[in-house]
Structure 1
Amino acid sequence: MGGLDFSRRSSAAESCFVVVIALSLLLVTQVRAQNIGVGFYDQSCPRAESIVTETVREFNSRDATVPAALLRLLFHDCFVEGCDGSLLLDPSPENPDVEKAASPNLTVRGYDVIDAAKARLEVECPQTVSCADIVALAARDSAVLAGLNFQGLPLTMATGRWDGRVSSRNAAEAALPSSKSNVQQLTAQFSNKGLSQDEMVTLSGAHSIGVAHCSNFMDRLYDFPGSPNGVDPTLDPDYAAELQAKCPRGNPNPNTVVNMDPQTPFVIDNNFYSNGFAGKVLFSSDMALFNDFETQFTSDLNVVNGITWNQKFGNALAQMAAIDIKDDFDGEVRLNCRRIN
């Protein structure tokens, strides 16, 4: 175009430039791959963690259910393709069947919080902080905002994750535990992700905050197998009656929700375990922890010592957030959390 040919004059300079860029990218890649840990962004983006914290606090000030949503977001992300932000990807012509479309993920919330934090971080330090790290940090901040007490110490979260490029609806539906799973199924699913049964029981305590849709436990209220009145006999009768009033049979509103913890719905604590032994948890999978010999003892210990449970939960959260972390060969730092670069 235009008649002037700059190719010969610029070829040497371009070659030199390409080599410099390639070496720079290699150096960045090596640094990122080798230094996954607490404080990863101290040099490259010093305000990274505080920006995420500020964003989560803003959203929490407007909606007290945000911490529960963000903890669930991390769990649903990490259990499919690892902790790589694959759940954040929107459908595209190239991949219409992403994790978001899987039935367990249709009620996942918190994407707007991650988007807001990412937008601020791209202004602060472009192309530096991964979406996967934002999800992990937001979950950490959510636990703290909800009241997790780590004996006065800061709840740390390693960073340096890469964002994945793969997202599959089928993989999500196969990997995510069901609200009707038994202890053996739950133990196997967590074990497949490198988490112990004790960590599974401990992380279940996150159900002391947040809400659940009636559809997830309606069978326990009206159609429980073998029950003469249709009510799961492990449910406290008064609690079952309360739930039936909130979730009547044939409820025309599929969006009706109930607090997971009837006592302290916005405080993450070990009430989940005392509620379980009292027959006041919503999911069959949660109730199983208190009726199965394998997990009764661990659940009972978590009732007795809330301080120990807090410590265990913080440690288990960090362990979960390290599942199958991507490296530079199969990951990237997305510019937009909803699509690959």
Structure 2
Amino acid sequence: MGGLRYGRSTTAAVVHIVVATLVLQAQVLLGQDIFVGFYDQSCPQAESIVTQTVKEFNSQDPTTPAALLRLLFHDCFVEGCDASILLDSTPANPNIEKMASPNLTVRGYEVIDKAKERLEAACPQTVSCADIVALAARDGAVLAGLNFQGLPLTMATGRWDGRVSSMDAANSALPSSKSNVQQLTSQFGNKGLSQDEMVTLSGAHTIGKAHCVNFMDRLYDFPGSPNGVDPTLDPAYAAQLQAQCPRGNPNQNTVVDLDQSTPFVMDNNYYSNGFAGKVLFGSDMALFHDFETQFTSNLNVVNGMTWNQKFGNALAQMAAIELKDEFDGEVRLNCRRIN
């Protein structure tokens, strides 16, 4: 059983998610309360402990923000935002989310472990692992440069940790790097996210790296292409990628920057890169060649600050997917196993 936590309601209520997009407030109806400042009395240092931990890891590895944003996304799309992706296998449940194909390259677990260790020392049995994942993703985005004109990017807290982790559920729920716009819109819509929010959140691919195996088919074996290269790729960019990811490369761990110009900076380059044919995944390229999403993508090219603000809103919305309540959740003492 998790410890008692200040502010926890046992009845259905309106969730207030406050996002500092020029002090914009969004209200979402969910099954329990999450709100900004949930730990203000039970663990006042909770958010600062997470922030400091993320800063330390980021100082050693500038890809940390991208890893933490991906960790949140892969958690929330399977069983909701409940830290189920953190659970390790057990004899009773060997087929966990971590073993799903899309999750084999997910990183950032050690950041969450360290933050949890520090939080248990400061405020035992109080801060959920699910909240740590959400706060760490928020902090990573800010450290990478997500800009709110001096305003803080807030993240509602008060989540419970889940007890279920399924490899099959992860394989079926997580979008593929080869998905088309209709598939992406449907998958995000199933989680309560709009097409605009899907396009906005895709902009997270402005930071981080990708394994060659995830886009090799666009470089050598694209259907109907006389030279095997996806014709939507910029030719010079395709040649550069072929040099980085040669056919038959035995090293499955070879990675390439998602954004060649500012690989560690949260900016709207993803959208200008997309229209120039310089994005890695077919699912990304689809956003710039489909009538449904061209307009939204173009707006994000024109106004980077608007995209920053929209991203903050969409991140908070995503971090509130299918939250657990006190009946099917807990506050884990160790993020890698249920209590």
TM-based fold match above 0.5: yes
In structure 1, the partner of 2:321 is 323
Letter in 1 for 2:81: C
In structure 2, the partner of 1:56 is 54
The CA distance in 2 between the partners of 1:209 and 1:218, in whole Å, is 20
The CA distance in 2 between the partners of 1:26 and 1:112, in whole Å, is 25
SS of the aligned residue for 1:212 comes to strand
The CA distance in 2 between the partners of 1:186 and 1:162, in whole Å, is 27
Contact 1:334 1:340 in 2 (8 A): yes
In structure 2, the partner of 1:127 is 125
Mapping 1:27-176, distance limit 5 Å? 30=9, 35-176=33-174
The CA distance in 2 between the partners of 1:57 and 1:31, in whole Å, is 35
The CA distance in 1 between the partners of 2:261 and 2:5, in whole Å, is 53
The CA distance in 2 between the partners of 1:31 and 1:337, in whole Å, is 23
The CA distance in 2 between the partners of 1:234 and 1:241, in whole Å, is 13
- Larger Rg, first or second structure (1 or 2): 1
Q: 1:26 to 1:113 in 2, by over 3 A?
A: closer
State the Cα distance separating 1:151 from its structure 2 match: 2.1
Contact 2:112 2:129 in 1 (8 A): yes
State the Cα distance separating 1:52 from its structure 2 match: 0.1
The CA distance in 2 between the partners of 1:178 and 1:260, in whole Å, is 16
In structure 2, the partner of 1:208 is 206
State the Cα distance separating 1:142 from its structure 2 match: 0.5
SS of the aligned residue for 1:290 comes to coil
Matched, 1:278 2:257: no
Contact 2:206 2:270 in 1 (8 A): yes
Percent identical among aligned pairs is: 82
Contact 1:211 1:258 in 2 (8 A): yes
State the Cα distance separating 1:79 from its structure 2 match: 0.1
Q: 1:145 to 1:27 in 2, by over 3 A?
A: closer
Letter in 1 for 2:186: A
In structure 1, the partner of 2:289 is 291
Letter in 2 for 1:179: S
SS of the aligned residue for 2:324 comes to coil
Alignment size in residue pairs: 319
In structure 2, the partner of 1:9 is none
Summarize deviations over 1:289-341 as a string: whole Å, max 9, x none: 00000000000000000010000000000000000010000000000000000
Q: 1:28 to 1:158 in 2, by over 3 A?
A: closer
In structure 2, the partner of 1:261 is 259
The CA distance in 2 between the partners of 1:211 and 1:91, in whole Å, is 27
Q: Which one has the bigger helix percentage?
A: 1
CA RMSD of aligned residues (A): 1.6
Summarize deviations over 1:232-274 as a string: whole Å, max 9, x none: 0000000000000000000010000000001100001100000
Q: 1:156 to 1:213 in 2, by over 3 A?
A: same
In the superposition, the TM-score normalised over structure 2's length comes to 0.92
Letter in 1 for 2:286: A
Give unmatched runs, 5+ long, in structure 2.
Answer: 13-31
In structure 2, the partner of 1:302 is 300
The CA distance in 2 between the partners of 1:163 and 1:232, in whole Å, is 42
The CA distance in 2 between the partners of 1:39 and 1:113, in whole Å, is 22
In the superposition, the TM-score normalised over structure 1's length comes to 0.91
Mapping 1:185-196, distance limit 5 Å? 185-196=183-194
Contact 2:175 2:187 in 1 (8 A): yes
